[in-house]
Amino acid sequence: MLSMKIKILRITDYSFYPGYVECIVTDVWGNNHVFNEKIPVVTSKNIDEKSEFPQDGYIRCELLSLWTDDDGNKIITVSTENPDHVETLDEINVFDLLPCQLVDIPL
């Protein structure tokens, strides 16, 4: 499954299962996008209050388009709406990313 690479910055709520973490991705335009998401949605690792941060994580996404900007950079537009209905704190779920910011993770 296509997934965008993110950084898990910290635990925001561990008072109930499964817990939430703050994550960030920077798009091709230099904008930082912050998520507050359930731990199992962004990593298969066991994260708790004793974990070290930042950690690598992933958010599953759908490919919307592939295009090349005026400088010849390949840009991939993805949505995190499906399959997990993930959005940023600002309710954004469409991102322009570089190919190196995406991975294909087997289900």
Q: Block means of pLDDT (10 residues each) for the chain, length 107 residues?
A: 97 90 97 97 92 97 96 97 97 98 88
Half-sphere exposure of 44 (CA within 13 A, CB side): 4
Give residue 49's pLDDT: 86
- 79 by Cβ neighbours in 10 Å (0-12 / 13-18 / 19+) ranks as middle
Determine contact, residues 33/5, Cβ cutoff 8 Å: no
The count of domains in the chain is 1
Phi and psi at 43, nearest 5°, equal: -160, 155
Determine contact, residues 54/43, Cβ cutoff 8 Å: no
User: pTM (2 decimals)?
Assistant: 0.93
Phi and psi at 42, nearest 5°, equal: -110, -10
* Domain extent at residue 25: 2-104
Give residue 11's pLDDT: 96
